[in-house]
A = this chain, B = another copy of it.
Amino acid sequence: MALSDAILVCLTERPMSGYDLAKYFDTSIGFFWHATHPQIYRELKKLGQRGHVVSDEEIQSGKPNRIVYCVTDAGRQALLEWSRKPVAPAVIKDDLLVRLQAIEHIDKRALRQQITARLAAHREQLAQYHHIRDVRFSDGEPEPGDLGKLMGLELGMEYENGWINWCKNALARLEPAGD
């Protein structure tokens, strides 16, 4: 149920095509809710049937036509109602943590490599968040509409920092062992 709402959230920003949405889900909102293009096209169809979005075809020559979607008043209402429902608690679902539970039955060298790779990935993600913040929210007080996005970025940074700390600690603990 939440993917349709995530799409509505994107479309309040500006009208977008399925293709645009798929790219958007690879960058901004996708940091907190991932979606692939088959999901998006499927969901747009349902949203249209419910009357939460309307589509408008932009004729293009050479390229395929763009079908641009726009939130309706009913869609805006649905968004408001969704925002009042209690949120599902965030759940960790992590392969690496599962492996740790069986530390004596797995390949420890591989584990160290994987933690090292994770550390690099989290550092990169943190750098990306910093970059986005610097180019989009450089000046003092953000506009009210941007506040939420800035807060999202900050959560992302908090999250990545937590992982970075943990990875460094974990490697320090695992390195000394001669295995």
Contact = CB atoms under 8 A, between A and B. Distances in A.
A149 B104 contact: no
A92 to B, nearest CB: 5
A162 B83 CA distance: 23
A54 interface: no
Contacts of A97: 31-33, 152, 155
Contacts of A82: 106
Given A5-B98, A86-B114, A117-B86, A92 B159 contact: yes
A151 B112 CA distance: 13
Interface size range on A against B: 35 or more
A152 B93 CA distance: 12
A101 interface: yes
A135 interface: no
Contact of A166 (B32, B80, B86, B154): B154
A145 B101 CA distance: 8
A173 interface: yes
B93 A32 contact: yes
A12 interface: yes
Contacts of A72: none
Contacts of A147: 103, 173
A96 B106 contact: no
Q: Which of A79, A90, A104 has the most CB of B within 10 A?
A: A90
Contacts of A92: 31-32, 90, 156, 159
